[in-house]
Amino acid sequence: MRQIVVAITGASGAVYARSLVRMLVRSACRVHVIVSPRGAQLMQMELGIEHVTAQALVECGSDRVVFHEYADMVDALASGSVNTDGMAVCPCSMHTLAEVAAGMGSNLITRAAHVHLKQRRTLVLAPREMPLSVIDLENMLRAARAGAVIAPACPAFYTELKSVQAVADFVASRVADCLGIHEEIEEFRSL
Ligand SMILES: Cc1cc2nc3c(=O)[nH]c(=O)nc-3n(C[C@H](O)[C@H](O)[C@H](O)COP(=O)(O)O)c2cc1C
């Protein structure tokens, strides 16, 4: 079973994160979820999720969702010796982007991202901010040069998406694509 890390940070777009976790579970992945404190606040504000649990994210298959503590720096995901098949930060705040670009690892999200880069594994960052400062742009370039895939949470509308959920699924399916997960997401893909 493929092991995918999904980090949820405090950028707007909690719905993208929920959609991505659902998609990965349907694709028979084990999903390792890390939520930043601000990410948890956005989950509450945007989706009404008081406590981010497996049941709150997926309707079925919740046994394939494993939570890891944001502040737990002795967690397995902090170590390069524990193998995974990729990581996505979705949505990715400019704060977390900056830490990743600077090579910092002050919490489990940025440490796990750093591990993915140094181990040459797939790291997908889905930043959401508008407009972008020169610092944000430089951080994206720096992270991309270090091997990260920059996949902005940026939906397209040429497929006449009919709901917020469809917009979220569009973005999440692109992130899943970048992770190399293509199965079971056809129904979410609009093109
Ligand atoms: C309601 C709300 C919406 C926010 N939306 C964004 C956003 O879209 N993009 C972003 O980069 N930061 C956004 N922020 C700011 C981040 O939450 C803040 O920089 C925080 O330090 C990020 O921490 P984290 O990366 O550890 O989650 C938002 C904050 C709040 C309270």
Do the beta carbons of residue 97 and residue 140 sit within 8 Å?
yes
- The answer for residues whose C-beta is within 8 angstroms of residue 137's C-beta and 6 or more apart is none
Q: Which domains are delineated in the chain?
A: 3-188 (3.40.50.1950)
Evaluate if pTM is beyond 0.85: yes
Nearest CA to ligand 1 atom 6: 11
Dihedral sign (CA 38, 40, 45, 50): negative
Question: Helix 94-101 and helix 108-118: axis angle, to 10°?
Answer: 40
Q: What is the pLDDT along the chain (191 residues), one digit of tens a residue?
A: 999 999 999 999 999 999 999 999 999 999 999 999 999 999 999 999 999 999 999 987 689 999 999 999 999 999 999 999 999 999 999 999 999 999 999 999 999 999 999 999 999 999 999 999 999 999 999 999 999 999 999 999 988 888 999 999 999 999 999 999 986 566 655 54
Given the CA of residue 93, which atom of ligand 1 is nearest to it?
Answer: 11
Q: How far is the CA of 106 from the centre of ligand 1 (A)?
A: 17
The secondary structure of 98-120, three-state, reads HHHHCCCCCCHHHHHHHHHHHCC
Taking CB atoms and a 6 Å cutoff, what residues make up the pocket around ligand 1?
9-12, 36, 38-39, 45, 93-96, 128-129
Nearest CA to ligand 1 atom 17: 10
Dihedral sign (CA 44, 182, 109, 133): negative
Q: How far is the CA of 133 from the centre of ligand 1 (A)?
A: 15
How many residues belong to the chain? 191
